[in-house]
């Protein structure tokens, strides 16, 4: 059996036998309590009696950035033995830390992405710092704070000052006691600034330094260290830390790295095939390659374990939402145009955490984050696509930092430019527009609405899709044609209308397909109108021309139909696309303008994909596939999402309202002269209503309702449209 002597900075003495690389190794640990003379005597006593000696916490070389300085005592101790190799972990630490970061990121994708990382300390952890810096551009060093108790102010510990500060720092430490270089747990004599620790998402370095100098509150922090004991875990758990990652391989079979790089290096020295081989990294490489190992990733809080995370982007509908938001009420005293233009340039902001989502089927928990742009749809339209892309890329980085692995694009962000393709290409997390669920929800909402108004067999009716060449409109048209057979396609893009008509006729032989650039001519014939445009400053449809009892399903966000227009025809039902109840005790942490626990479609699609663990680009571009719409419906059924009630202008449609519209529509059908007078009067009133498409206020006037998504979620019974054979 190979034998290792470990000399460490505390006082306890233990012997343990570990199993590593198919061999048993005895590790005899003796504490020297920082007494350099005792360390020298132990090395001399065990020289030639053991296979390797590990100096744990006693480096012979101090490294920070590109600076290197030999530690006076550490260098002497490393040369004390004449027969037994003496190591301190320096040769293998950097390589194992780099490798460990890669493996941890594979095991928990995105665990370090875009995080605020604080090295505690950076001294002797170059490999860890370099590997983490490849995954985040936000890294700082706590060395000035922990070693010299410097107050926190701009520039201290930043990468920009590292090269200038590294040399003087190491010069100050080269004769320092080991307990100063490698702090041990306990109360510090001089409290350290808390700001760097509060700023950080990830504390990386030495467990002793973190326990000694970090604040008592470490809620939601990730801690990355060489090794940790059960006592360390308990301390971090009590402070509220969320995750512990250990970079060294486990020697105890429980996956937790609880032995330092010095001990691992000593074992590799003892196990090297050629005992005369030099103590270099090359000598250890083959043995290191044989280690079957993944760094331990321990969730310290039960509530944090096994949660799949997502993010969702929203933005204000118009300037009134900026004025009414609690953080920006003061802007109402400034010119609207100035506020709207200025707000467009604000960086994305974090709004809230979405908690409580859980699948009844699999038990999978989800957590989400709302992130908001400050640009209104009008501002996005007035600027180039790159303007919005850049802000969505920043949103993706915020989402990564929060731990999200997929981000949904709400409302106008999902239609700008190429509808998410560029954003998905440039972001490091998955992106979805949510439009697959929007389509499914539209179809289900339309079906329920027309049936509630008394239409028993819509397959004999007629449906119009306004905005038919858009991403949502085109797939709605194709699916509706399979169920209703008589469709009217309306778009301002005649060449794309022709192409869509040919596609529908090839997919659904026998379907009657009419195309037009304006809706007016066909409106009196249609039982159902689906409107899904991105039009601004125009009246999308003339509601006064609709037939009695028609249903308008307004999928667009902002809405194509405003309340003032809808009031002109009380027999016509204007509904929003479907909304859903996400399973679990869902709390959005923010007023999204819907009843509690109720979500819009593209937010729900993002949550559903996270619940399924499908962290992939899902619905992108303007060519939504029928297969994706059907697949997302099956996932909806699997995880027991439920459709909320039908809504119109922010409120649920009641049974009384349904009945009133049914009775009124029947009166108009029975009395054509009455209906003609109603239409004429409504047409006159319409002239006095300003054209407000994409510019109306929310019906409920909620000051916190920022724009979300075009649609809801598919519901039970959607197979009426999705499951029909061609």
When mean pLDDT is compared across 128-137, 569-578, 700-709, the lowest value belongs to 700-709
Write the pLDDT tens digit of every residue in 361-411. Answer: 999 999 999 999 988 888 888 888 999 999 999 999 999 999 999 999 988
pLDDT at 260: 93
**Minimal CA–CA distance to 707: which of 698, 715, 699?**
698
pLDDT at 152: 65
Write the pLDDT tens digit of every residue in 559-587. Answer: 788 899 999 999 999 998 778 889 999 99
Tell me the pLDDT band of 333, cut-offs 50, 70 and 90.
Answer: confident
Does residue 683 have a pLDDT over 80?
yes
Query: For residues 500 and 492, what is the distance between their CA atoms, to the nearest angstrom?
Result: 13
Query: For residues 527 and 517, what is the distance between their CA atoms, to the nearest angstrom?
Result: 19
Does residue 660 have a pLDDT over 80?
yes
pLDDT > 90 in the chain, percent: 58
Residue 357 contacts residue 611 (beta carbons within 8 Å): yes
pLDDT at 696: 40
pLDDT at 712: 31
pLDDT at 256: 86
Tell me the pLDDT band of 293, cut-offs 50, 70 and 90.
Answer: confident
Rounded mean pLDDT, 627-654: 89
How is residue 438 annotated by DSSP? H
Rounded mean pLDDT, 454-460: 77
Does residue 705 have a pLDDT over 70?
no
- Choose from 299-308, 398-407, 591-600 the range with maximum mean pLDDT: 398-407
Rounded mean pLDDT, 525-532: 92
When mean pLDDT is compared across 21-30, 114-123, 185-194, 442-451, the lowest value belongs to 442-451
Does residue 419 have a pLDDT over 90?
no
pLDDT at 700: 41
Write the pLDDT tens digit of every residue in 32-54. Answer: 988 999 999 999 999 999 999 99
User: Which residue has better confidence, 279 or 385?
Assistant: 385
Rounded mean pLDDT, 162-166: 85
pLDDT at 709: 37
Rounded mean pLDDT, 546-555: 91
pLDDT at 536: 63
Q: Which long-range contacts (CB under 8 A, 24 or more apart) does 637-641 make?
A: 637/716, 638/359, 638/361, 638/612, 639/359, 639/360, 639/361, 639/362, 639/583, 639/608, 639/611, 639/612, 640/359, 640/360, 640/361, 640/583, 641/580, 641/581, 641/582, 641/583, 641/604, 641/608, 641/713
Q: Can you tell me whether residue 29 is helix, strand or coil?
A: strand
Rounded mean pLDDT, 540-551: 92
Does residue 701 have a pLDDT over 50?
no
Query: Which residue is it, tokens 């059907």?
Result: 630
pLDDT at 533: 84
Does residue 453 have a pLDDT over 80?
yes
pLDDT at 154: 55
Rounded mean pLDDT, 269-287: 77
Does residue 714 have a pLDDT over 70?
no
**Minimal CA–CA distance to 538: which of 516, 515, 520, 512?**
520
Rounded mean pLDDT, 460-468: 91
Rounded mean pLDDT, 203-212: 96
Contact residues for 202 (Cβ-Cβ < 8 A; gap 6+)? 112, 115, 116, 117, 118, 132, 221, 222, 223, 224
**Minimal CA–CA distance to 261: which of 295, 292, 221, 214?**
295
Tell me the pLDDT band of 156, cut-offs 50, 70 and 90.
Answer: low
pLDDT at 698: 37
Residue 96 contacts residue 247 (beta carbons within 8 Å): yes
Write the pLDDT tens digit of every residue in 57-92. Answer: 999 999 999 999 999 999 999 999 999 999 999 998
Q: Mean pLDDT for the chain? A: 87
Query: For the stretch 302-337, what's the b/e string if a residue is b when 16 or more beta carbons lie within 10 angstroms of its beta carbon?
Result: eeeeebbbbbbbbbbbbbbbbbbbeebeebeeeeee
Tell me the pLDDT band of 155, cut-offs 50, 70 and 90.
Answer: low
pLDDT at 588: 94
């Amino acid at each position: 059996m190979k034998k290792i002597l470990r000399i460490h900075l505390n006082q306890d003495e233990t012997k343990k036998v570990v199993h590593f690389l198919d061999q048993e190794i005895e590790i005899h640990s003796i504490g020297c309590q920082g007494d350099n003379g005792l360390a020298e005597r132990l090395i001399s006593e065990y020289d030639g009696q053991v296979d390797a000696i590990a100096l744990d916490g006693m480096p012979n070389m101090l490294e920070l950035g590109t600076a290197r300085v030999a530690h006076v005592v550490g260098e002497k101790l490393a040369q004390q033995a004449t027969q037994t190799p003496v190591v301190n972990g320096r040769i293998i630490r950097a390589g194992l830390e780099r490798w460990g970061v890669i493996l941890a990121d594979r095991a928990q994708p995105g665990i370090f992405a875009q995080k605020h990382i604080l090295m505690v300390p950076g001294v002797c952890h170059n490999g860890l710092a370099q590997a983490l810096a490849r995954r985040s551009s936000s890294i700082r060093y706590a060395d000035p704070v922990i070693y010299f108790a410097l107050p926190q102010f701009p520039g201290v510990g930043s990468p920009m000052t590292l090269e200038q500060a590294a040399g003087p720092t190491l010069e100050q430490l080269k004769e320092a006691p080991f307990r100063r270089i490698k702090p041990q747990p306990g109360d510090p004599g001089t409290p350290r600034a808390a700001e760097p620790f509060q700023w950080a998402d990830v504390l990386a370095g030495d467990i002793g330094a973190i326990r000694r100098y970090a604040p008592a509150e470490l809620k939601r922090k990730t801690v990355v260290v060489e090794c940790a004991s059960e006592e360390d875990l308990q301390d971090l758990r009590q402070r509220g830390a969320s995750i512990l990652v250990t970079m060294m391989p486990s020697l105890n079979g429980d996956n937790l790295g609880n032995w330092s790089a010095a001990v691992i290096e000593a074992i590799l020295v003892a196990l090297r095939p050629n005992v005369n081989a030099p103590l270099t990294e090359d000598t250890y490489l083959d043995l290191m390659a044989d280690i079957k190992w993944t760094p331990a990733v321990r969730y310290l809080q039960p509530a944090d374990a096994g949660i799949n995370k997502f993010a969702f982007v929203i933005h204000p509908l118009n300037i009134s939402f900026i004025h009414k938001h609690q953080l920006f009420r003061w802007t109402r005293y400034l010119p609207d145009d100035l506020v709207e233009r200025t707000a467009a340039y604000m960086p994305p902001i974090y709004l809230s955490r979405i908690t409580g989502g859980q699948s009844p089927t699999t038990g999978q928990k989800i957590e989400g984050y709302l992130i908001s742009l400050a640009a209104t749809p009008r501002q996005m339209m007035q600027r180039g696509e790159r303007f919005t892309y850049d802000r969505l890329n920043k949103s993706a980085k915020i989402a990564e930092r929060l731990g999200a692995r997929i981000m949904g694009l709400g409302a106008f962000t999902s239609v700008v430019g190429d509808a998410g393709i560029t954003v998905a290409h440039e972001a490091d997390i998955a992106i979805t527009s949510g439009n697959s669920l929007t389509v499914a929800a539209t179809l289900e909402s339309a079906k329920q609405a027309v049936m509630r108004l008394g239409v028993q067999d819509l397959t004999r009716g007629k449906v119009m899709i306004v905005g038919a060449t858009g991403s949502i409109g085109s797939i709605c048209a194709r699916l509706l044609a399979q169920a209703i057979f008589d469709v009217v396609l309306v778009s301002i893009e005649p060449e794309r209308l022709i192409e869509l008509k040919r596609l529908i006729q090839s997919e659904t032989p026998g379907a009657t397909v009419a195309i037009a650039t304006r809706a007016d001519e066909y409106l009196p014939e249609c039982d159902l109108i689906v409107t899904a445009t991105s039009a601004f400053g125009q009246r999308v449809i003339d509601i006064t021309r609709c037939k009695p009892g028609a249903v308008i399903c307004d999928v667009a966000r902002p809405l194509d139909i405003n309340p003032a227009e809808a009031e002109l025809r009380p027999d016509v039902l204007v509904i929003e696309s479907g909304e859903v109840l996400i399973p679990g005790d869902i709390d959005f942490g923010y007023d999204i303008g819907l009843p509690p626990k109720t979500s819009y479609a593209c937010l729900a699609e993002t949550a559903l994909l996270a619940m399924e663990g499908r962290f992939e680009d899902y619905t992108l571009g303007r060519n939504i596939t029928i297969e994706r719409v059907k697949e997302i419906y099956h996932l909806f059924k699997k995880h027991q999402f439920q459709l909320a009630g039908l809504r119109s202008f922010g409120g649920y449609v009641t049974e009384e309202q349904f009945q009133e519209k049914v009775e009124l529509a029947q009166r108009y059908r029975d009395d054509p002269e009455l209906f003609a007078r109603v239409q004429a009067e409504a047409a006159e009133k319409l002239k006095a209503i300003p054209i407000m498409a994409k510019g109306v206020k929310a019906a409920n006037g909620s000051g916190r309702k920022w724009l979300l998504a075009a649609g809801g979620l598919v519901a039970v019974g959607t197979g009426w449209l999705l499951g029909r054979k061609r």
